[in-house]
Chain A
Amino acid sequence: MFADPAVWLPFVFAALMGLSILIYVVLDGFDLGVGVLFPFATDAEKDRMVAAIGPFWDANETWLVLAVGLLLVAFPQAHGDILTALYLPVAVMLIGLILRGVAFEFRAKAAARWKKTWNHAFFAGSLMTSLSQGFMLGLYIMGLEWTLPHVAFALMTAVFLTVGYSFIGATWIIHKTDGVLQLAALQWAKGGIWGLVLGIGAISLATPLVSPRIFEKWFSWPEALWLAPLPLASGLIVLWLWSLLRKMPFAGDRRSWLPFALATALWTLAFGGMAYSFYPYVVPNKLTIYEAASSPESLMIILYGTLIVLPTILAYTVLAYTVFRGKATELSYE
């Protein structure tokens, strides 16, 4: 059946969109998290935290543009359905993104007496973005319906995702800094890991309970058997992270990258589980990727471009992260 372009093209685009969302939540997740952690840091630490994400945030945020862009161009019907249902949280997120994006620049370029205000704006923008993304995630899982229990669940996922972002943000700081700030980040990570665990737990429980179809996909034999490694691996990673955070930092700053890598692995597993649950639906239980897709001819045109450009983008991204590897220090460039 995958010989038919009307079948494999939507699948490929759904996969690409999923990949973009995953890369987005990991990459922008860490820089949003750094913003959420701002109130816990001193002014000097704030400068260093911004230096740790400065060269990356812009490119990180474009993955959101790519993800929503793919939704827009490959599944136009779903784009309208989902975004109209999420009208208010989307507006809150956009205003949040605007605030934090410009605060980045203004806190360095406006007069010194405004710097505190822009620090606040950076925190507020990061918080608004994280909370609204978590809220959208929750409402999406609940089928995009605005009823009281669904909104309550979405408010809960909003908090969990925000704490989860602050966790991955803290692991990034552990990797990019040293000394007192790194020690502080270790504490933040230990304080934030529960958000991730509870968030993943709540979503894993709620998803099959809301939808009998998803329940069926997970708990029927023999699927349950070959799906078992997913939760098992997640549990092991959490334990590994916990013991790691208690022992770090190691002499010579060995393995400072490991918590971030493990956090990324954990997110990938959680995301994979969700993708498995929802496939083939793009609007939960309403519209499949096959029904929502653009015409195969248009998808084909986009695919050519994507196949040339996406690997190049990935290569650039690796290049940028390589150029700016190592510890972010305040003014060592000078």
Chain B
Amino acid sequence: MDTLILSRIQFGANISFHILFPTITIALGWVLFYFKVAFTWTKDDRWMEAYRFWVKVFALSFAMGVVSGITMSFQFGTNWPGFMETVGNIAGPLLAYEVLTAFFLEAVFLGIMLFGAGRVPNWAHTGATFLVAFGTTMSAFWIIVLNSWMHTPQGFEMRDGVAHATDWWAIVFNPSMPYRLTHMILASFLTVSFLIAGISAYRWIIGGQTRGVRVALKSAVFGAALLIPVQIFVGDMHGLNTLEHQPQKVAAMEANWETAGNVPLVLFAIPDEETRSNRVEIAIPNGASLILRHKADGVVPGLNDFVTPEGDVLHPPVAPVFYGFRVMVGIGMLMLLVSWTVAFTMLRRKPGSKERRGVEGLPRWMLYGLVAMSFSGWVATLAGWYVTEIGRQPWLVDGVLTTRMAVADVPAPMVLSTLIGYLAVYGLLIVAYLGAIFYLARKASKGGTGPVVPGARLEGMGVAAE
């Protein structure tokens, strides 16, 4: 393998590992803020119980996100110097704003959010929670702006091979940004909903049937049931936006080789780039034309349009984009099914009573189903990112800079050695992270999280607080 592919795998591994944690912290910050406000409003302990458990998961995820995020800012230089050399004038300020407005806001107020409950008044602690949530969201905003600009660049001009900004408004509000941002924020909320629902169901099963667990489970399931239809709608809009700006990506998602009308919707196939056709194909006639153009004979772009007469392939590798898209959509459908089934079961009335069934009315198998779905959001989010990022290839910045042009001239064995190092560490950490979350759940179920003591320490740091 050469330096380019190794560097890509390394960056892909790093950013895949990294995104797992912001996907949790972006929405979990707001969920914690919600718990805190609900507690302040109702003075009901169950909200604080939920807060005290989930703030630990937040702290753990946040730490994982910070340390894996630092890796990113270095790898631009160690592996992809061509990126900043070419588009540094645009990427620079966006990254700078990310670090400035967001990172510090989170990191500084995180201390007060985690350890400061007994040291600052309640309103200040709620405020710190808000600022941390706001910070993570702003962080996501700036990163998505830059990422979207790499997909749909505008507002710049090239002088001597270097991009110079001409219109910052156009750069920030580039065409794919609003769709990608909304899609990602919703993905984060869905990931967190299923995480909270799954871990709460786990605690419920093993005997930790407290009021805090019940309220967390209910909030999470209803949240997911409400958001998943919105996400499906937004995802569709995002796809149409991609069709307009990056048709080659949509062609790869659909595994459609020839531009034509009456294009079928390929449900499953094995795309083969050697023969430039699909082996085995299960398809719905006219499906793709209907979805993308809203009429049966609508013209859908094909991959063969993106091969130059000289034979240069300017479309992405088809198989990963095609499969990734199906994994993402498949999990989305599963989320719809699970959240609606569980939500409707809880809403049904008990026989001969006006009372709703609630969490107690959930059959065991549904609780197990929720546990199985705990990390489904991660899989869908990763699959989605693979679709959009691999779908951008061979470009790093669409139409401006190819990935090959940006890679550092570091010897391949050196990249391989660091890649193995990162993979080993990430493998261990993911096991440790999952282990710690389930351990925290078991520990909380055994001892409960105790009563709310005014000024109690929220976080067990150094010495276990319980």
Q: Is B465 an interface residue (CB 8 A)?
A: yes
**Residues A43-58 near B (CB distance < 8 A):** 47-48, 50-51, 54-56, 58
Binding-face segment, B63-71, B194-202, B221-229, B378-386: B63-71
**Residues A17-76 near B (CB distance < 8 A):** 47-48, 50-51, 54-56, 58-59, 61-62, 64-66, 68-74, 76
Q: Is B95 an interface residue (CB 8 A)?
A: yes
Known: A102-B67, A109-B439, A294-B92. Contact between A320 and B108, CB under 8 A? yes
Q: How far is the CA of A323 from the CA of B464 in the complex (A)?
A: 22
Binding-face segment, B25-33, B80-88, B308-316, B387-395: B80-88
The distance from the CB of B101 to the nearest CB of chain A, in whole angstroms, is 6
Please name all residues of chain A whose beta carbon is closer than 8 Å to the beta carbon of B461 when the two chains form the complex: 50-51, 54, 104, 108
Q: How far is the CA of A162 from the CA of B68 in the complex (A)?
A: 23
Please name all residues of chain B whose beta carbon is closer than 8 Å to the beta carbon of A83 when the two chains form the complex: 74, 77-78, 81
B111 touches A70 (CB 8 A): no
A48 touches B164 (CB 8 A): no
Q: B414 contacts which of A51, A87, A98, A334 (Cβ < 8 Å)?
A: A87
Q: Is A148 an interface residue (CB 8 A)?
A: no
B111 touches A108 (CB 8 A): no
B410 touches A109 (CB 8 A): no
Q: Is B230 an interface residue (CB 8 A)?
A: no
Most buried by A among B93, B120, B165, B456: B93
B111 touches A110 (CB 8 A): no
Most buried by B among A58, A61, A104, A295: A58
B88 touches A73 (CB 8 A): yes
B-side interface residues, number (CB < 8 Å): 78
What would 8 more interface pairs be, CB under 8 Å, given A47-B462, A87-B414? A51-B463, A71-B77, A72-B95, A90-B74, A297-B89, A309-B100, A331-B463, A334-B457
A109 touches B73 (CB 8 A): no
Binding-face segment, B247-255, B296-304, B428-436: B428-436
Q: A110 contacts which of B414, B436, B463 (Cβ < 8 Å)?
A: B436
**Residues B43-87 near A (CB distance < 8 A):** 56, 59-60, 62-64, 66-71, 73-74, 76-78, 81-82, 84-85
Please classify the interface of chain A as helix (H, G, I), strand (E, B), loop, or mixed, using the class held by over half of its residues.
Answer: helix
Q: Is B418 an interface residue (CB 8 A)?
A: yes
Q: Mark B418-443, 1 if CB is under 8 A from A, else 0.
A: 10011001000100110110011000
A-B CB proximity, top 9 nearest: A80-B81, A83-B77, A73-B92, A76-B88, A101-B67, A333-B457, A76-B84, A55-B111, A316-B108
A contact residues vs B (CB 8 Å cutoff): 47-48, 50-51, 54-56, 58-59, 61-62, 64-66, 68-74, 76-77, 79-84, 86-88, 90-91, 94-95, 97-99, 101-102, 104-106, 108-112, 114, 294-295, 297-298, 301-302, 305-306, 309-310, 313, 316-317, 319-320, 323-324, 330-331, 333-334
Please name all residues of chain B whose beta carbon is closer than 8 Å to the beta carbon of A86 when the two chains form the complex: 78
- Closest A residue to B419 by CB, please name it: A91
- Closest A residue to B98 by CB, please name it: A69
Q: A58 contacts which of B73, B89, B110, B435 (Cβ < 8 Å)?
A: B110
Known: A95-B425, A298-B165, A324-B115. Contact between A84 and B77, CB under 8 A? yes
Known: A84-B77, A309-B101. Contact between A102 and B164, CB under 8 A? no
Q: Is B453 an interface residue (CB 8 A)?
A: yes
Q: B421 contacts which of A91, A297, A323 (Cβ < 8 Å)?
A: A91
A323 touches B120 (CB 8 A): yes
Q: B68 contacts which of A68, A77, A98, A331 (Cβ < 8 Å)?
A: A98
A61 touches B66 (CB 8 A): yes
Q: How far is the CA of A104 from the CA of B89 in the complex (A)?
A: 37
Known: A54-B115, A65-B70. Contact between A111 and B439, CB under 8 A? yes
A-B contact count (CB 8 A): 234
B67 touches A98 (CB 8 A): yes
20 contacts between A and B (CB under 8 A): A50-B461, A55-B116, A58-B107, A72-B92, A73-B92, A73-B96, A80-B77, A87-B414, A94-B71, A94-B74, A102-B429, A105-B436, A109-B439, A110-B436, A298-B92, A302-B93, A305-B100, A310-B100, A333-B115, A334-B457
Please classify the interface of chain B as helix (H, G, I), strand (E, B), loop, or mixed, using the class held by over half of its residues.
Answer: helix
A79 touches B96 (CB 8 A): no
Q: How far is the CA of A106 from the CA of B64 in the complex (A)?
A: 10
Q: A72 contacts which of B76, B89, B409 (Cβ < 8 Å)?
A: B76
Q: How far is the CA of A305 from the CA of B142 in the complex (A)?
A: 13
Q: Is B348 an interface residue (CB 8 A)?
A: no
Please name all residues of chain B whose beta carbon is closer than 8 Å to the beta carbon of A58 when the two chains form the complex: 62-63, 66, 107, 110-111
A306 touches B111 (CB 8 A): no
The distance from the CB of B80 to the nearest CB of chain A, in whole angstroms, is 8
The distance from the CB of A103 to the nearest CB of chain B, in whole angstroms, is 9
- Closest B residue to A84 by CB, please name it: B408
Q: B96 contacts which of A87, A111, A306 (Cβ < 8 Å)?
A: A306
A295 touches B89 (CB 8 A): yes
- Closest A residue to B74 by CB, please name it: A90
Q: How far is the CA of A77 from the CA of B76 in the complex (A)?
A: 11
Please name all residues of chain A whose beta carbon is closer than 8 Å to the beta carbon of B100 when the two chains form the complex: 66, 305-306, 309-310, 313
